[in-house]
Amino acid sequence: MKASTLLLVITVLGYLAYTYIYKAPKYTDGEAVADFQTELIDGTPFKLSEMQGKYVLLDFWGSWCGPCRMESPALVKLYKDFGNATFKNASGFDIVSVAIETSEESWKKAILADQLAWKYHIVQKDRFKSEIAQLYKVREIPTKYLLDTNGNVLMVNPSFKELSEFLAKG
């Protein structure tokens, strides 16, 4: 085997290992996620387990993240469509946004600019080294978990079409 071919194979295998092992979300479908407590944007104490009974979209994002900001209109639409919906197996739907940041000011400006109307906004100012990012092994954003009424993962990084279809079934 030529040295250049061997180098290509090693590079491809390294990339695949990085993508599927290092960057893989911590939780998969059916697993219970770790609980955490922190403060919301307004200083209110928050504990994820207090959301039990609802479907929860746990959204890791950043004000500095282009792909995250491009998703904002779809998130806003999802919240408008299902934030007040009635479900057979859940008392509601909500979004918990966890911002991976260094600047609280940029985070607050992005929430206003993108019209993120839900009340569950959390900032983690040490970016990927922050407590919640480490707890969930978040190494890239956007990362999303749809949780069931007991805090178990229903979907990891679902598309907005998948989310809408699931929530529309009630």
How does DSSP assign 147-167, residue by residue? E-TTSBEEEES--HHHHHHHH
Confidence of residue 3 (pLDDT cuts 50, 70, 90): low
Q: Is residue 24 part of a domain?
A: no
Which residues sit opposite 144 in a β-bridge?
59
The tokens describing 27, both together, are 């939780």
The β-bridge relationship of strands 55-61 and 93-100 is: parallel
Q: What is the pLDDT of residues 87-142, one digit of tens each?
A: 998 999 999 999 999 888 999 999 999 999 999 999 998 888 888 988 888 888 99
Q: Is residue 1 part of a domain?
A: no
Per DSSP, the three-state class of 72 is helix
Q: Is residue 99 part of a domain?
A: yes
Tell me how many degrees the CA angle 88-92-93 measures, rounded to the nearest 5.
Answer: 120
pLDDT number for residue 18? 45
Long-range contacts, stretch 158-167, CB < 8 angstroms, 24+ apart = 160/71, 160/74, 160/75, 160/77, 160/78, 163/57, 163/78, 164/78, 164/81, 164/82, 167/55, 167/78, 167/81, 167/82, 167/85, 167/87, 167/93
Distance CA 137, CA 129 (A): 10
Q: What is the pLDDT of residues 6-60, one digit of tens each?
A: 555 555 554 444 444 444 565 566 678 889 999 999 999 999 999 999 999 999 9
Q: Is residue 155 part of a domain?
A: yes
CATH classification at residue 106: 3.40.30.10
Which residues form the domain of 116?
29-168
pLDDT number for residue 51? 94
Q: Is residue 6 part of a domain?
A: no
C-alpha radius of gyration, the chain, whole number: 18
Cβ count near 156 (within 10 Å): 16
Distance CA 124, CA 98 (A): 7
Q: Is residue 150 part of a domain?
A: yes
* CA proximity to 65, closest of 144, 159, 152, 2: 144
* Beta carbons of 117 and 78 less than 8 angstroms apart: no
Per DSSP, the three-state class of 140 is coil
pLDDT number for residue 129? 86
Q: Is residue 72 part of a domain?
A: yes
Q: Is residue 15 part of a domain?
A: no
pLDDT number for residue 29? 62
Total structural domains in the chain? 1
